Amino acid sequence: MHNKVSRKERYIFASGDLFGGGAQIIINFYFLIFLTDVVRIRPALAGIIILAAQIWDAVSDPMMGLITDRTRSRWGRRRPYFLIGFFGILAAFFLIWYPISNENEWVRFFYMLFAYVLYKTVSTIVMVPYSAMSSEISIDFKERTLVNGTRLVFSQAASLICAVAPIEIVKAFPDIRTGYMVMALAFALFFAVPYLLIFLFAKERVTVEEQAEEKWSLTEFIKPFRVRIFRSLLFIYLFSFLAMDIVSTIFAYYMNYYLKRPSELNYVLGALLITQLVCVPLVIKAAYRIGKSGVIKNSVFIWMSAILFMALLQPNWPNWVIYFTAVYMGLGIAGCVVMPWIMFPDVTDVGELAFNRRNAGSFSGIMTLSRKTSSAIGIFIVSIILEIAGYIEPKTIIEDGITKTVMMEQPASLILALKIIILVIPFVLLCITWFAARGYTLEQKTSEKITQYLEYKRGNASENPVSPEELETLKKMLI
């Protein structure tokens, strides 16, 4: 009988994804426009900040996966990094939203580059072990799915809060710069505290055998790519989230400069994200009925049709049409956002089957890198297109000692660019996602059989539930 996850522990562990779901939403929706409109950095330079940090991620995320897999401590392999993350998030999240005001653009550029690379490093230290632990907090298929489903409810709730609340906090202060600093401090606390609780109260439940120390090599970094089912999951995750990140990044510009409804931005985002939150339990139930890959494929079709409708929106259309489009898009996005992390623990089991050791950290490092890559690429693509299309940044004025921004009228080339970004690029990415989902063949019965076999291999079960022939078939299908 395994040590069950209590309701308290489940909620505490799930709260860690307030950071995973919420911080990324704030960055996707507001970071580029913060750099261009508040810090006053040209879009191309802002894109370089994002790209440079991503190059660092390409090294740090897989490296962190190896580090956490090799960690041995009285608190386990994952938990020590949550205590480090508690202090790191408090500092790094505040620094990336500090509106430096030096007159020299290059000083502003290098400060933001330093702050953002620091933030990405802290994110790696926290999210790679956290994602790995999501596959090790329970050995039971249904309990693990429940824990990760709860985690994704927290993630979607954080997405809703972080899409709406940050700018409301900023707008509550007459000086926009003060507003950003208060917002940063508030959300730094919101994201950091759960990791202190996870360190204190959560447990790792997968037994790890002590093995001889292996040499660090490039092979260790790329080993997860040898697992066929992991490659399918990676394509689903990368391209669906890249589509979401591009839409998220351009959405504020689309509302401000094309639809000319900046005051409604938060409410439209709220409608989209509330829909995603409500759909999380429905998506998980649907996975039991039509399979996890089936949920992805159906969600992609809904999302693609919503994108087509959004591209047809006109500034003079009534408000309800815009909100309806946001709700409809939320229906599609929900499945694509929720399902990859429901799939992930099953895939790490296949990794253990393939390599005869539990390397969830290595898989998590690549998944975390993929998530950050999608965000970085999305923001970079949008920033470069805005620069080429002739984006005119707002003017900064000071009235009675209060800093304000005044939006400028944009050229026709910029409006055309917004329409292309909102339609063409996500549509292509979602087509790739759909084909990747077709190649995902790991479903519930197969996953349960693998879990039972691994428990037998670990010495926690007396009977081998898989015949040699079945084992060979499973390996050929998944590895």
* 459 located within any domain: no
Residue pair 382/246 in contact by the 8 Å Cβ criterion? yes
Residue 259 has phi, psi (to 5 degrees) of: -75, -15
Q: What is the pLDDT of residue 101?
A: 85
* 461 located within any domain: no
Average pLDDT over residues 376-391: 84
Our measurement of the distance from residue 213's CA atom to the centroid of its chain's CA atoms, rounded to an integer in Å, reads 32
What is the pTM (predicted TM-score) of this model?
0.73
Encode pLDDT of 227-283 as tens digits.
999 999 999 999 998 898 888 888 888 888 888 888 888 788 888 888 988 888 888
Average pLDDT over residues 143-152: 84
Between 265 and 8, the higher pLDDT residue: 8
- For Cα atoms 348, 352, 357, give the angle at the middle one, nearest 5 degrees: 125
* 404 located within any domain: yes
The answer, yes or no, to whether residue 35 has pLDDT greater than 60, is yes
* 460 located within any domain: no
The answer, yes or no, to whether residue 2 has pLDDT greater than 70, is no
Residues 6+ apart with CB under 8 A from 473: none
Segments forming the whole domain that contains residue 185: 9-202+219-442
Hey, what are 157's tokens? 């709730």
Which residue do the tokens 């589509």 mark? 243
Provide, rounded to the nearest whole percent, the portion of the chain with pLDDT above 90.
31
Q: What is the pLDDT of residue 75?
A: 87
Between 370 and 213, the higher pLDDT residue: 370
Classify the phi-psi angles of 98: left when phi > 0, otherwise alpha if psi is within -120 to 50, otherwise beta: beta
Q: What is the pLDDT of residue 212?
A: 45
Q: What is the pLDDT of residue 1?
A: 47
Hey, what are 312's tokens? 């047809």
Name the average pLDDT for the chain. Answer: 86
CATH number of residue 359's parent domain: 1.20.1250.20
CA dist 337 to 10, 21, 456, Å? 20, 10, 33
* 239 located within any domain: yes
The answer, yes or no, to whether residue 215 has pLDDT greater than 70, is no
Helix, strand, coil proportions of the chain in percent (round to 5)?
Answer: 75, 0, 20
**Residue 296 — very low, low, confident or very high, per pLDDT cuts 50/70/90?**
very high
* 386 located within any domain: yes
Encode pLDDT of 306-341 as tens digits.
988 888 888 889 988 999 999 999 999 999 988 988
**Which of 355, 123, 354, 363 minimizes the C-alpha distance to 222?**
363
Residues 6+ apart with CB under 8 A from 311: 419, 422, 423
Residue pair 345/148 in contact by the 8 Å Cβ criterion? yes
Hey, what are 459's tokens? 């010495």
* 341 located within any domain: yes
Provide, rounded to the nearest whole percent, the portion of the chain with pLDDT above 70.
95
Our measurement of the distance from residue 256's CA atom to the centroid of its chain's CA atoms, rounded to an integer in Å, reads 25
Q: What angle in degrees, to the nearest 10, is found between the helix axes of 319-355 and 468-478?
A: 130
Hey, what are 321's tokens? 């049409």
The answer, yes or no, to whether residue 218 has pLDDT greater than 70, is no
Average pLDDT over residues 443-470: 84
* 321 located within any domain: yes
Encode pLDDT of 350-368 as tens digits.
988 888 887 877 888 888 7
Looking at the 3D structure of the chain, how many domains does it have?
Answer: 1
Encode pLDDT of 162-213 as tens digits.
888 998 899 898 888 899 999 999 999 999 999 999 999 988 877 665 554 5
